[in-house]
Amino acid sequence: TGSRIMGGASGGGAGAARILREIDVQRLRGRLVAPDRNEYAVEYFGHFCALMHLEHLEERRQLQRRAQRSGPLVDNLECVAVFGRKDGRKADALGWEDPGSEMGVLLLPSGTCLERLRVKKGDSVGLSEAGTVGASAGAKLAGTVADLKPAKGREAAQMIVKVRGAWPDNAQTCTWRVDQDANSTLYERQLQALLSLVVKPRNKICELLIAARVGGVDAWVARSRGKMAGGQAPVTKTRAKDQAAARKLASTQPQARNLQEALDEASTLKHLNASQREAVSAALKQTCAVIQGPPGTGKTHVSVQILKMWARS
């Protein structure tokens, strides 16, 4: 069903609406069963899969509205080369048809400063023939910015885009506009991870993820609303014990000597680049640190290093 909705959505809102009308939500209840019959895993998958779909759709909606208000990231780009065609597999891990990929070279306007360009390497983009309005109107291609090359001598700066599927036959005879698009790579990886949680053997970390049943936030909100209305949720022995453990954990601070040693070590980690070392140091010095970057920039690698150093400090 999910693959049909995504396929219909790419063909326009009317197609997606028609497919949704054919779905009987009540008949879908209880249809997903894990091989090991673990109800917690199924509940976790259903809860977060729905949230992930809604988040992705909302991201696309907001990007389309922004493109209509602010215009494209760049427009009227000439495609001077198409290369690197890779045929897709019959189906990916999700059961969706893999269209393969192909690279294209777009010439950026004369005088373009890559540092000020609103699109960066690794960003998800949508491409359509120049002159169309909005991120979805007339959109033909979706892809990722594979590289940005600065101007060199008389050669203009270039944007190299890896598209899903293939560039059309007229790619080099028309000009293109580039709009920001939702991160499809992240979306598909999250969906694959959720599916693996249900259909594949789970390690101890995955078992911990599903140990606490989903919906705990809803229960917390209900209790909070009760307090604001003048009510008071009863404090059970279990809840009191959890609260005491949480207070103890929140008040725990690393020893100053251990923390300084960890910071000194972080500044000399040779297998990380400068921005990655900075991220490690930030995570060691403060309660909350947000680490972000496009695919392939080492976020997972940095997170593993942070966990190692947290454990030691």
Q: What is the pLDDT of residues 229-269, one digit of tens each?
A: 555 556 677 777 777 776 776 666 666 677 788 888 888 88
Is the per-residue pLDDT at 25 higher than 50?
yes
- 23-32, 111-120, 257-266: lowest mean pLDDT where? 23-32
Instruction: Measure the CA–CA gap between 236 and 258, rounded to whole angstroms.
Output: 38
- Give the pLDDT band of residue 4 (cuts 50, 70, 90): very low
pLDDT at 84: 92
Is the per-residue pLDDT at 227 higher than 70?
no
Percent of the chain with pLDDT over 90: 15
Q: Which residues is 77 bridged to in the sheet?
A: 176
pLDDT at 101: 92
* Segment 94-114, tens digit of pLDDT: 777 788 899 999 999 988 888
pLDDT at 10: 45
Give yes or no for a contact between 195 and 52, defined as CB atoms under 8 angstroms apart.
no
Is the per-residue pLDDT at 226 higher than 70?
no
- Give the pLDDT band of residue 69 (cuts 50, 70, 90): confident
Is the per-residue pLDDT at 146 higher than 50?
yes
pLDDT at 80: 94
Is the per-residue pLDDT at 194 higher than 80?
yes
pLDDT at 175: 92
pLDDT at 3: 43
- 133-137, 169-173, 272-276: lowest mean pLDDT where? 133-137
Is the per-residue pLDDT at 296 higher than 80?
no
Is the per-residue pLDDT at 78 higher than 90?
yes
Radius of gyration, alpha carbons of the chain: 24
- What value does the mean pLDDT take over residues 127-134? 70
- Is the whole model's pTM more than 0.75, yes or no? no
